[in-house]
Structure 1
């Protein structure tokens, strides 16, 4: 009888946990943001924006099909995502281009394109919270 009471008590407590308590490992980019900034929880909208940027705010290309200013990419011995976050690179009005040591180019999305992705990202995170 005591065990049944404990099981039902545990179920009741789990149902009372606020819906914002979700598995943060489900958030794309969260592990990178946590490791770079030394945080344990993704709590603010800024944190979510960083997660979105780490996961979807950039991509790699072998070459550009047009002329553009290409900058040197900072830091060499860490991952691309860590470099982006540590150097403080974020989307601006235009795309940004950074050359890697191996010749590939990191393209950071423009702010307008990133905001479209961010909007969808936040919706998906909120849907994930509601399901849990």
Structure 2
């Protein structure tokens, strides 16, 4: 269901962008609007304004629904583990060898004292 709402949300977003870009600039913020244009009649302006309001309401509703849906199954989680304490290890004991990659790359330890050669 979440995928369906996301697709509807994206269609509303794309349509809302298109409708806003079709509207005539009344403030002339960039100096490129105004004058006669593609959509210049008063009736078309009212239609675009209403369409923008409806699409904005749909965008708002789908945004709220998606945020609610994302947190619906989230449950509070404690960072303090109260079910069982952590295992306590004895101080000074080395960890058990795991046989991993790092253990295979270790250099063998040099003998503490020189040893006599052994014959076969």
In the superposition, the TM-score normalised over structure 1's length comes to 0.24
For the pair shown, which has the larger CA radius of gyration, 1 or 2? 2
Where is the helix percentage greater, Structure 1 or Structure 2? 1
In the superposition, the TM-score normalised over structure 2's length comes to 0.26
Where is the strand percentage greater, Structure 1 or Structure 2? 1
